[in-house]
Amino acid sequence: MAELLKVENIEVFYGEFQALYGVSFHVDEGEIVALLGANGAGKTTTLKTISGLLRPRSGRILYEGRDITHTPPHKRVEAGIAHVPEGRGIFPWLTVMENLKAAAYVKRARERFEETLEFVFSLFPILKERRDQQAGTLSGGEQQMLAIARALILRPRLLMLDEPSLGLAPKLAYNVIMLTKQLRDEGYTILLVEQNVRLSLKVADRAYVLETGRIVKEGSSAELERDPMIRAAYLGM
């Protein structure tokens, strides 16, 4: 499989505080890769660096084989990198439809908007039903669907999800994580950031574990599920 994303040895700081220490990993086309770790491990920082909201002090980010370390965020979106942020990033006062239209600000999304919209509505029929409803009045699960739908409107090649299960009841959390598998089967490549290790390992092909800014484990989901350290620290066994 072709390598879609390669993160090489990135070091990221907030002022004097170092959040990432030599983080390296890769995502191949068609994979779900999970980036796992506890609160404050550096998961969000990693995604923000890939989408260009943060600049690494050193290291490189390669996408489709090109160095994008210094490419501005909107150009990365145009190149097909979509980021569903922590906390969803939808506009609560706008309707579902307005939220989707607002997402289509790049050429990549505008070109085949109607067709993409149809696909997104087939994936989330509830959003079609509620298209004229204010986004802030949707349930938590529906808001998460809308956040993902906004990213899909961009026709991404790489879909990055930051804790999509956060704040959802267990059944909905399960559904959202299972949705990533459905998207993978549709041909999407997904980088999934989660604290919910058990659930993530059910859908991911491979995973990396971050601890205080460093990758401390990597492997296939099956390998990590068997790993004694992972079982003790993250699976409560």
Ligand X SMILES: Nc1ncnc2c1ncn2[C@@H]1O[C@H](COP(=O)(O)OP(=O)(O)OP(=O)(O)O)[C@@H](O)[C@H]1O
Separation of alpha carbons 88 and 150, rounded Å: 10
Per the structure block, which two tokens stand in for 68?
């994008």
Stretch that binds Mg ion, among 5-13, 35-43, 48-56, 68-76 (CB under 5 A): 35-43
- The 2-21 contact track toward ligand X, x by CB under 6 A, reads ------------x--x-x--
Sheet holding 158-162, edge to edge: 81-84, 158-162, 189-194, 32-36, 206-211, 214-220
Q: How far is C-alpha 63 from the chain's CA centre?
A: 15
**Between 127 and 160, CB nearer to Mg ion:** 160
Among positions 44, 69, 180, 189, the unique one binding Mg ion when judged by CB under 5 A? 44
Handedness of CA 173, 141, 53, 191 (dihedral sign): positive
Q: Does 180 bind Mg ion (CB under 5 A)?
A: no
**Helix axis angle, 140-152 relative to 113-123, nearest 10°?**
150
Applying the rule CB under 6 A, the residues between 146 and 205 that interact with ligand X are: 195
In the numeric block, the tokens 């920082």 are attached to: 45
Separation of alpha carbons 32 and 93, rounded Å: 32
Stretch that binds Mg ion, among 2-10, 17-25, 39-47, 170-178 (CB under 5 A): 39-47
Q: Select from ligand X, Mg ion, none the partner in contact with residue 39, using the beta carbon and a kind-dependent cut-off of 5 to 8 Å.
A: ligand X
- The 86-125 contact track toward ligand X, x by CB under 6 A, reads x---------------------------------------
Which DSSP string corresponds to 42-76? SHHHHHHHHHTSS--SEEEEEETTEE-TTS-HHHH
Applying the rule CB under 6 A, the residues between 26 and 45 that interact with ligand X are: 37, 39-45
**Between 30 and 140, CB nearer to Mg ion:** 140
Chain residues in the site for Mg ion (CB under 5 A): 43-44, 86
Which residues here bind ligand X, judged by CB under 6 A?
A: 14, 17, 19, 37, 39-45, 86, 195
